[in-house]
Every structure is written in structure tokens, then in C-alpha cells.
A and B are shown apart, each in its own frame.
Chain A
């Protein structure tokens, strides 16, 4: 049966300390590019990317937030409405990892309850400067029942995987297609509706 390609719009949010690479991760995912100069985000930006998952077209609207401390009270107000949140730290920056707990608290306080979370340890290309082991990252994610990836926006490691995994986890939470079908057939405003028959995706 035919699916409407964009019948799903997922709103995702990137959060984490300033400089951990949120903007770079988004830029890598949407434009497949990378920039080494650091221009700290002062505001809230977003990009759109359509992905295909389980035969569905899903439009991702990905919001990139300012990581700087002084904006925290403002940025938390954008959590509401996010269906997925990527919490990013930098494996070469211990402080950014220590702050994970604080970010998780922020999510609990300000995001909707059923938001899907994911932790990303970014800059995994810089093994010589690593201060947070992969195990510690996995551990904290596991403790909170959250999925985890080590990524590199620079070398394009696991960036796509992370977004697809997050989208898939959100999709898995959605009411499944059989519900939609039953909604179809009982809808009285649709005369001449054909009964379910084969079709494309």
C-alpha cells in the first residue's frame, strides 16, 4: 500500500557543552561537509534532511542549540516538542563528559517525557588526546538506558548511524501501521475509499 513519503516529521535536538562538535555533526549529516574553524553557535539553528527508514520517508528537522553556559536557561525552552535528543560530549574534554549528568537533568526537567535520548562521544578521531574512554561513555549510557555511539564529524564516523538509529527508535515508539489502517476504514469523510489492496511502499 502506498505511503505518503513525508507523512512523518521528526524533530531532533542536539545538546551538549560548547565546542563538543554539535554543529559539525549536523553539518556532516546534512551537507556531508566539515569545517575546522570553530564558530560557536549563538542561537538555535536547524536543518532538514529526509531519510528513508523501513520503507518510509521521514523528514528530520534537526535543531542545533548553543552550548554556551550563559544560554542554558534559554535553550532549555526549546526542548519541548523534540522527539529525539542527541547529547554530545567530546572525548578529549573531561569536563564535557562530566556535564552529561547535568544535561540529562535538563532533559528530564524540560523535554517531554517520552523523548528518545542518545549519547554521542564525538571527536573519536583524536585518539592521541582522548581523556574519556569508550567504556566510560558506554557505562553512563547504559546506566541511564540510553543508546551510545562514538562519532567523528571530521572523519564521518557513525554520524549517519547515530541519526538513523535515533530515528528508528522514535519510529518504533509510534503507533504501528495497523492502527492507521483501522483509522482509515472508519473515517466517514472519505467516500469511495478502496479497501486495502497491494501497492507500493
Chain B
């Protein structure tokens, strides 16, 4: 046998199911390489209640010439109820029914051939084709799926489905006949029956095997949804929910017998479940059923069930259809009917007639179109990639100040062909590998969905908080704060957004040494004679205290504690004014510049933003020890604290303590501020309550005592 390797054969042929995008194009272009043929298909379902058939049912199928179909598919349920059938395969009953159906077809048995049939105990499906039909039927496969109660290993087989799958020319068609769980309250089991049958009804058609045989990792099967068309019929056993609406059985029967029977359909469990999407997703049924409920009658009559159980009427017998894609030409061409004249069972048969446009693929035509379809599919794939336009390619924040957040926005406009979902990627190779950007930058939202044609604003905020300012020098590269955001579109490209900002060096976020060497720029002063004085206030500043701290403390002391209202609101504008006054040295005296509270909070922020706390880390342990030792000896405690600190820290601490002591004496309630000051000066973990209390106590002791010693 000659084996053809793919290296010698250069052309690739189209085989459906390999690439969804190409298939989509091929489907749209089907007219270029397919011819279509109208084929009438008649489908009928009948729960025969275990009865033996009559020899013929002349009214089952319409005998009118215009109603004669090319294919007949019939599903029976309860074809055989005899106990034996559960154990022994009894074919006699089946043969009787096959004959009866065959003879009932228009023109009788000589006009039709059996295409295929499948039986699971009483669930039987059979498909006939007219002898004069020109449709080429191939790949006929049959299958059953048993659901319901398992006995030992095998399922009993009293519920389930049987199906015949086939190719009509090049259209895949499947006929599924099912019998779902009975009983008013078995809704969930019926749903499960559907799911089980739908899931397990898979076929292994030969031609697909050929087509897919080189997909080693994919099981080469045809599922129901792989068929172009599925007819699903049978005794689905869905009942009416009328009792939930307080409609009595008698009332239901009255309505069902009247002209208004269609009103009952709104209570149908199947309709309700389909509306919820629980079962039969993508299946269709005519919106109205133009016949009375097909269940349950006294056999031999058209009278509603008079037995003891007195069943509520219901449309248990149904015919639904599924189309693989919208272009499939399947139409219901006659109203669905039930055949009331057939009375042997407690159900009525239901019948429907469809026209299916069966396609025939011209192989060489398809392969010619295929090349073009691949290019078209590529073109569409590229075109459909998400696309956005950014209002800014990069964002420069200019100069940013401590605690003065600056916001810019970037508009993301969806200019693509579908909705886009975007998210900011955790920046590849970034130092902090969890975040999308450095902490000084805030981005909102970090992910979102934008409908086609819409746009959305992303807000970017640079905010130099205390945390950040303490390590600002580590963050600055080439004199700038720099970051690159990576905006990722789901299933698409990434956009880079470079962000820059220049941090305005400030007395905030500095070190004591730097503050000490900071000199105000005096030149402005020379012009303004009014304010000019040889001896400005800060000239009295002790050598080891930074002027900015001294000026704030002195301004606060000048104003006095009584003016300090700690309930006041924080005002950023005022804060910025204080900051620039501190930095420019103008005015030297800050006492008239802002409220006591704003000066007070500026002082706290200033100390809090220092790279290190005034009472240096690592002093904790020493102080703690001394604290225990000299609990009552404040002088000793003070000496220890003091001697453990560098000169400038000592000096600042003394100044602060002096101020606090003064304040507490002027306004007793301010003692509540001790714990805040402890946090600022020790900068310990405020979560740790025990430590926190201790630091407040230390500070209190120091305040009460220190100034006498140091500044006396």
C-alpha cells in the first residue's frame, strides 16, 4: 500500500471543525462551492403504552401528495413494557411496530426503505427514506443512552434515548428519540435525563475518523452539537405547573378541552426550563402548540384519564430542533399536529414536517475557496484584535510636591471591532513584582471593560506620601520619578505608558542634617523693606535645631496652646503655604501665616517625614531597660535618653518637650496628644498597644522633667 506523506502532497483541503474562523468564512461563502436541495422530513413521536400495533394507522401520516416527505423519523416510547424485555431482548413487538409504521407511510412499505433504527427496551427510533429520494445517505450511526435507576451494573433502560445520526449529502443530521422520567415532581430528574443523553450521545463516524485521524490528542467523535441539525423528540414527560398557580385538575381539564387550551402552555415545565436555559439550550419549538395536551387519555377514547390517579393533562410529547448555526436552512413547513384519531394509547402521537436545505459540497470548489478563506480568516482575526487609542502616549506630571497629590487622566478609546477588556499588567522585571507600578503612583481603574466605540478615563495620581518621601532618594532616577505602565488588552496587544514626575525637594522627607544645613534664600527680602529686619526671629535658633523646626515651634508657642483647636479640618492649601514659607524663609515668623492647628500639623508632618525618628530606632531597648530601672527617677531617665541620641536629635527633642510641657500647662486636655507625639517621636508600631502605652508614659515623664534640666 502506498503511503502518502504530507511532504509530497502540498495542497491542504478543507475539513470542517479544524479552525472555527475558517469554518465561519467557509459557511458564509457556502454558495460558492455548495448546492442545496430541499428535502422534506417528517418527524413523529408516540408513547404507545406497551400496546401492540394495529396493522396500519392510516391517519398517522398525511397521505396528501404535497405532504409526502422524503424522510420519516419515528420515535416510540413504551413500545415494550413486558417485564421480560428488561432481561431478554424481545424483538417480536418491535418487528410488529416497524411493520405498522412502514405500512402507514404514504404509499405504503414499497415506497420507503429503512435507513437505520435503534432500540433501548421500549425506546425505539427508526428513520425511513423514500425509494425515489436522490439524497445520498452515508455515515449512518446509531446509539442509545440509558438513564434512570441503575440495577447492579447495567442501567435498567426504561428511560433514556436512542438516536440515528447520518449524513444527508453533506449535511449532518441526527434524530434523537427520548423518554424522560415520569411524575409531576420529577422535574430535576427529567432535566438530568436531558443532560445525560445530550452528553453521552456521541458517535464515531467513519468519515470523521478519516478527517481527524491525525489529531492524536482529540477524541474523534461527533457530538450532538457537531451535527448541522438535530431533531429531538419523544415523551419528555414535562408537566404543567398549574397546581403552583392554584389551578385545579378539573379546571385544567376544562381549559384543555376548550378552545383556550393554548393558555395552558405558559405553565409548561419544559417552556419554563428552556426559558431559564436549564435544558435544550439552542433548541427550538414552535411558539404555540396548536393541539391539546397529548397526555393522559383513557385508552381507546379521547377522554382525560379517569383512573384513580387522574393525571393532570400535559404536553408530554414534543418535537424540538437544533441548528448548528443560523444559516442552516431548516424550517417547519406545516403546523405541528397531534393525531387524535389514534386512540390505542394513553398518549397521542405528535407529528411535524420540516424542510431542510441539504447541502452538497463541490470538493474542488471548496478547496479552491479554502485558500482564500484562510486569508480572509486571517484578515478578520487581525481586524478583530482589540484596538484602543490612548489620549496620551506618555504622562509627564511636571513638578510634584510632598503631600500634594497631582492627577492626570488618560482616555482609553475602544476603536476596535468588539468590546475590549483591559488590565494593567504587573510590570515585567519590575522591582516590586506584585504591583502594577511604584507606590508613588496610583492608577484607577486597573482593569475594566469598554464597549465598542466607547471610551473610558483612567486616572493617574502621583502622591508623595510620608512613607514614600522617607525613601524618595532611592526612587529617583536621572533626577526623575519614572515608571512605565503596561496596559494589556485581553487577547491583544500591550501598550506602554511612560510616566514621569520631578519631585520638588522639600524640607519634608529630609534628614535632620540636611535641614540643619538649609539656609533660606534671603534675596527676596532685600527689596521688601517693610518686612526686613536685621534680627529675624530665627536668628535665635539654637545651633543644633534646624530653623524650619524652630520657626514652627516658636510660632506655635507665640500663639499659645489656647488657640490650638485640634478638631480643626486639615486644609491642604494652607499646608502648601506653610511649606513654601518654610522653604523660602518668607515670612520668617510663621505665627500669622496659619492657624495654630495647621502649624501644629505641619510640625508633626515635618518630623514624621524625616528619614529617621527623632528617638532613633534601636534606642527602644535601652530606653525600655532604663525605664524599668528608673521608673521613678525622671532625671536619670532623661539623662539616659538624652545621652543615647546625637546632638541634633537631643536638641530637637528638648525643644519639642519644652513646647509640649508649656502646652499641657496652658491647656490640660492637650495631654491627649501625648500618644500621637509618642508615635511621631518614637515611630514605633502603633498596632502594638502595650508598647504604645509605654512610649506615651516615657514621653510624659520626659516632658514633665526634661525642660528644667536642659533649657533652664
Contact = CB atoms under 8 A, between A and B. Distances in A.
Contacts of A6: 18-19, 22
Interface string A169-201: 000000001001001100101111110111111
A45 B496 CA distance: 11
A14 interface: no
Contact of A5 (B22, B213, B394): B22
Contacts of A70: 484, 498
B374 A189 contact: no
A201 B18 contact: no
Given A3-B214, A7-B215, A74-B427, A194 B209 contact: yes
Given A1-B6, A198-B3, A189 B219 contact: yes
Nearest to A43: B495
Interface stretch (B375-383, B534-542, B599-607, B619-627): B375-383
A56 interface: yes
Nearest to B482: A70
B493 A44 contact: yes
B1 A197 contact: yes
Contacts of B428: 73-74, 76-78
A77 B484 CA distance: 14
Interface string B478-502: 0000001011000001111110000
Interface residues of A, number: 48
Contacts of A192: 204, 209
Contacts of A187: 216-217
Contacts of A42: 393-394, 495-498
A93 B284 CA distance: 65
Contacts of A47: 382, 385
Contact of B429 (A5, A48, A77, A184): A77
A136 interface: no
Given A191-B204, A200-B12, A2 B210 contact: yes
A201 B6 contact: yes
A177 B216 contact: no
Contact of B5 (A74, A76, A177): A177
Given A5-B18, A71-B484, A201 B382 contact: no
Contacts of A11: none
Q: Which of A54, A198, A200 has the most CB of B within 10 A?
A: A200
B494 A44 contact: yes
A46 interface: yes
Q: Which of A4, A7, A184, A189 has the most CB of B within 10 A?
A: A4
B294 to A, nearest CB: 39
Interface residues of B, number: 51
B15 interface: yes
A55 B484 contact: no
Contacts of A191: 204
A164 B316 CA distance: 61
B220 A190 contact: yes
B378 A55 contact: no
A130 interface: no
A172 to B, nearest CB: 12
A184 B204 contact: no
Contacts of B375: 50
Contacts of A56: 6, 12
B494 A48 contact: no
Contacts of A49: 378
A194 B210 contact: yes
A18 interface: no
Interface string A41-76: 011111111101011110000000010001101101
B496 A1 contact: no
A30 interface: yes
B429 to A, nearest CB: 5
Contacts of A7: 214-215
Given A50-B378, A52-B10, A45 B493 contact: yes
B11 interface: yes
Interface in B280-332: none
A57 B494 CA distance: 27
A3 B394 CA distance: 47
A43 B493 contact: yes
B2 interface: yes
Contacts of A45: 493
A74 B382 contact: no
Interface string B493-516: 111111000000000000000000
A30 B383 CA distance: 11
B215 A57 contact: no
Contacts of A66: 496
Nearest to A183: B216
Contacts of B215: 4, 7
12 contacts: A1-B5, A6-B19, A42-B393, A42-B496, A47-B382, A52-B10, A194-B210, A198-B3, A199-B210, A200-B13, A201-B10, A201-B11
Given A1-B6, A42-B496, 12 more contacts: A2-B214, A4-B214, A4-B215, A43-B495, A47-B385, A52-B10, A71-B484, A73-B429, A76-B428, A200-B9, A200-B12, A201-B6
Interface of A: 1-7, 30-31, 42-50, 52, 54-57, 66, 70-71, 73-74, 76-78, 177, 180, 183-184, 187, 189-194, 196-201
